[in-house]
Amino acid sequence: MMKRLAFLVALVLLPAALFGAARQVYVFNWTEYIDPDVLKQFEAETGIKVRYATYESNEAMFAKLKLVKKGGYDVAFPSTYYVERMRKHGLVTRLDKSKLPNLRHLNPTLMDKAYDPGNAYSVPYMWGSSAIGVNRKAVDPKTITSWNDLWNPRYKGKVLLMDDVREVFAMALRSMGYSGNTTDPVQIRLAYEKLLKLKPSVKVFNSDSPAQPFLNKEVIIGQIWGGAVYQANQESPDLVLVYPKEGAIFWVDNMVIPSSARDVDAAHLFIDFMCRPDVAKKNCEFIGYATANLTAQNMLSPKTKNHKAVYPGDETVKKGEFQADVGDAIRIYEKYWEMLKTR
């Protein structure tokens, strides 16, 4: 009787003991932003179990990490200036580069940006641009060279802008020769006044799926994500991406280790695994965005790696600007954005 009871107790405790012993890494990523096979491969190769959770916006991820003080996620994927914002709030841990040998595969043009000098806290994962989308059936792409072309009265009522305060203002600021990351209230006001003149031309504000109004023939010119053009081109070749001479706006999604991480070593192992060229290639083929991994990029099919909307080339990237945190100036931007929307 006693023996049987002991056996039962052992049976109950066994799985807990087994799983308790296994190491785990808690990953917090955007929805549909990884090839699920990659997670299984990581578990099989390292024996570390992946606990995976997803989010829909930087803001949501930031708010959650802000609330968790200890025992939180081991890896998160903030975009461009959110790395800076998280660092200012003490939410990220400094990386140990000696544990990340695969960093050598990454694209140097995407490293050491203003939002994280020397990549002390973040490792680039995927990246992309926003530039000018043109329906070549309605507008000759050769006549479009500058952000200022959006103000051409010929396109009145046929223009698309992003429904995103930073993207729209960065575009207007660049068109005037200012930085899209300015915190100068005067420059922001001047950009607002210039945008006010564009407002009557705008048919729709859309940043979730900006290619749709182009495919629906509602607009013929406007701001668009490079990746959206690539995806739309699978359906129709009419949508063309033009990089304006004032420079496109770039974003990078990065891997970081939150300061509330449970297992910093496992987090390094995971990040290094994600930087392995074969893994990076799998992810970028699954997601369809540009990989920050240069070795992986060179392994892609010529059709993909030469698509200018996805991989614009070093010159274009150098001319463009990466979004940086504007701190409290975001309130000034938001104020003018509200005024722009209510006019």
Closest to other proteins by CB, 213 or 247: 213
Shortest distance in whole angstroms from residue 338 CB to other proteins:
5
> Which are the contacts of 188, defined by CB distance < 8 A and separation ≥ 6?
169, 173, 182, 329, 332, 333, 336
Which one of residues 96, 217, 235, 315 is an interface residue with other proteins (CB under 8 A)?
217
Residue 142 within binding range of other proteins, rule CB under 8 A? no
Residue 163 within binding range of other proteins, rule CB under 8 A? yes
> Which are the contacts of 274, defined by CB distance < 8 A and separation ≥ 6?
38, 123, 125, 255, 280, 283
Shortest distance in whole angstroms from residue 58 CB to other proteins:
9
Shortest distance in whole angstroms from residue 19 CB to other proteins:
31
Which of the ranges 7-15, 26-34, 209-217, 292-300 carries the binding residues for other proteins, by CB under 8 A?
A: 209-217
In order, the DSSP letters of 123-169 are EEEEEEEEEEEEETTTS-GGG--SGGGGG-GGGTT-EEE-S-HHHHH
Q: Specify whether the CB–CB gap between 211 and 145 falls below 8 A.
A: no
CA distances (Å), origin 202, targets 91, 131, 166, 229: 39, 16, 17, 19
Closest to other proteins by CB, 125 or 214: 214
Between residue 237 and residue 276, which ones bind other proteins under the rule CB under 8 A?
Answer: none
Shortest distance in whole angstroms from residue 328 CB to other proteins:
9
Shortest distance in whole angstroms from residue 330 CB to other proteins:
6
Closest to other proteins by CB, 106 or 224: 224
- Quick note: the x/- pattern for other proteins over 322-341, rule CB under 8 A, is --------xx--xx-xxx-x
CA distances (Å), origin 97, targets 202, 215, 271: 47, 45, 11
Closest to other proteins by CB, 275 or 332: 332
Question: How far is Cα 222 from Cα 213, in angstroms, rounded to an integer?
Answer: 10
Residue 134: beta bridge partners?
221, 240
Closest CA relative to residue 224, chosen from 243, 238, 197, 246: 243
Shortest distance in whole angstroms from residue 164 CB to other proteins:
9
Residue 132: beta bridge partners?
223, 242
In order, the DSSP letters of 67-89 are H--SS--SEE--BHHHHHHHHHT
Shortest distance in whole angstroms from residue 249 CB to other proteins:
17
- Quick note: the x/- pattern for other proteins over 174-203, rule CB under 8 A, is -------------------------x--xx
Q: Specify whether the CB–CB gap between 171 and 129 falls below 8 A.
A: no
- Quick note: the x/- pattern for other proteins over 71-90, rule CB under 8 A, is --------------------
Residues near other proteins, by CB under 8 A: 57, 59, 66, 157, 163, 165, 199, 202-206, 213, 216-218, 330-331, 334-335, 337-339, 341-342
